[in-house]
Amino acid sequence: MTMDDSYDAASIQVLEGLEAVRKRPGMYLGDPHDGSALHHCIWEVVDNSVDEHLAGHNNVVEVSLNPGGSLSVRDYGRGIPVDLHEEFGISAAEVIMTKLHAGGKFDNSSYKVSGGLHGVGVSAVNAVSEWMEVTIHRDGTIYRQRFEAGVRVTELETIGTCEDTGTTISFKPDTSIFTNITEFDFDQIDTRLKETSFLNAGLKIIISDDRGEDQHVSEHHYEGGLAEFVRQINSRRVPMHEDVIIIQGEKEIEKGPVTVELALQWSDAFSESILCYTNIIRNKDGGTHMSGLRGALTSSVNGYAKKNKLLKGDPLSGDDVREGLAAVVSLKHPDPSFSSQTKDKLVSSEVMGIVQTVVYEKLNEFFEENPSVAKMIVNKALLASKAREAARKARDLTRRKGVLEGGGLPGKLADCQSKDPKECEIYLVEGDSAGGSAKTGRDRRTQAILPLRGKILNVERQMHNIAKVFQNNEIQTMVRAFGAGVGNNSEEEGSFDTSKLRYHRLIIMTDADVDGAHIRTLMLTFLWRFMRPAITEGHVFIAQPPLYQVSKGKMSRYAFSDEERDEFIEDLKGDNPNAKIGVQRYKGLGEMNPEQLWETTMDPETRTMLRVTVKEAEETDRMFETLMGEDVPERRAFIERYAKEVTNLDI
């Protein structure tokens, strides 16, 4: 037996302390490669400051993005304890910074409610940081301690005196752990901390970006709380009722009280926007509080509609009831359980019943006291039901005619030979000319080509007439080719199902010009509105054809940016600054012959592709509404706001 084949006691590794976090950061903080874990480090540190606010000891949090890639979080709470911890023989501050599952939030004596309950938050951040410094103002004294890669490099030192209290934590992420995205995104931080301020009426959060020549400061301070939050969500929509509905309730459990606070308002939108939080922590995947809310909404609206004889026939579905709803549900729980350390989903089983009971009772009371608003909400749901039924009939009709799945593959599709979806990919190509080159140059075994003629329908402007969407020829062609259905309602038969995809990579390949960008955006809009799981589960890609061919004699290179073009030109000139270097700008895919298209854009060994990902579904929804919807002033305002940040303008 070789050494590689041996498996005995010596093969078993024990990762001590923070070493486990450095070895497997994804278990504690999320993906270290796509930016999610990088930014989750901030949330872990900020959440501790917010916990001090929840405990009644802090009203200001200051976040600073520093030159050199570090970040600082300052609060004015009680300050981390600095006295000796008897068990470990070191200060309580060092225990918190270096020991997993250590903190003051396990027994509810220091904090009644808290987002950080696992005790791995700041210590996990310390582990994945090149360095971290903690400065504590407490009992008139200033203390400081420094760590590197989670290891203490200085003792807890006294460095001065003070008249205030609080904690400052500064850290620089270790770029040997975080790859691809290693810089903090100000807009992402600003959005998250704005939500945090909304959820904590009276808490002021100041974010300053000091990395450039000009300091950028953003301040959030909202006395209106959840109601103001919902109004902000609906700021681009037309509310159906002026006042935001506020629901509050409390239920006692063994560990203490569970408090439910909810704000909701219906608008003329065609999608729902529901944000869920537990102890101020965003649960982007929802959980038991989301389930309780949905159940209560469906039961309450249907109950009122039947009682007042507004409903004839089948009950309204949950999707009908929630169409156009903006809601924020904030749960305070003494001992919540989450699906993972990143707290993306709440799994405390008792919460569903608590939320459902509170919302059902309070919403029924509101409907009885505000019948005009209740009728508007019911009528909105009835219209949604009729539109959904019309869309279903249109989809069923086209399916019976063989237009959608089950009716055979479209004639223009050049399918691949393999029948294994995991190794198959389909190129959605702009135009017949480029489609012809792609068909000739492709790997016929695994690559399918679907040419699309012209610009597909802008589905964002047809959400009120979904039947028209299913009648569009190019959309019908894509649905048939993919073979996975259409529609985001997982409860409805025939909706999009990634397990049925004929190709695991859907690759959008358009010209590198304005029209190509527009067609790509139209395709993404359709996929987001009617095949969302394809995006959220990572099946959608964007091909990156070259912008230039740079040549000298028989030598040629392909450049994918202006910078790369200039670099190649200088390289080919060599010692002869006067050499005639040929530069061809590719405005369309059709300008490349099949060999060039394969070599630059389709060869899996050499190509570059961008995977389409989603960080925040609600922000993505609002972006599609702004860019592709009917609100022209809103779109103009967006363009004017971000015009200076444009890096690739094709006029």
From its phi and psi, is residue 286 left (phi > 0), alpha (psi between -120 and 50) or beta?
left
Nearest to 489 by CA among 620, 572, 384: 384
State the Cα–Cα distance between residues 241 and 398, nearest whole angstrom: 38
Residue 360, helix vs strand vs coil: helix
Active site residue 335: no
Active site residue 4: no
Q: At what angle do helices 225-233 and 186-199 cross, to 10 degrees?
A: 140
Q: Label residue 343 exposed, middle or buried (CB < 10 Å: 0-12, 13-18, 19+).
A: buried
Q: Catalytic residue among 228, 515, 566, 634, which?
A: 515
Q: Catalytic residue among 185, 513, 599, 616, which?
A: 513
Record the tokens describing residue 644, joined without a space: 């200076």
**Burial annotation 320-339 (CB, 10 A radius, 16+ → b, else e):** bbbbbbbbbbbbbbbbbbbe
Nearest to 321 by CA among 238, 395, 264: 264
State the Cα–Cα distance between residues 271 and 494, nearest whole angstrom: 20
State the Cα–Cα distance between residues 241 and 376, nearest whole angstrom: 8
- β-strand pairing of 325-332 with 425-430: unpaired
- β-strand pairing of 157-161 with 141-148: antiparallel
Active site residue 432: no
Active site residue 515: yes
Nearest to 115 by CA among 341, 353, 355: 341
Q: Catalytic residue among 430, 474, 621, 625, which?
A: 430
Q: Catalytic residue among 51, 75, 425, 511, which?
A: 511
First-last CA distance in the chain: 67
In this structure, is the dihedral angle defined by the CA atoms of residues 33, 34, 36 and 41, taken in order, positive or negative? positive
Residue 35: CA atoms inside 13 Å, Cβ hemisphere, count?
Answer: 13
State the Cα–Cα distance between residues 513 and 586, nearest whole angstrom: 9
Residue 45, helix vs strand vs coil: helix
Active site residues per annotation = 430, 511, 513, 515
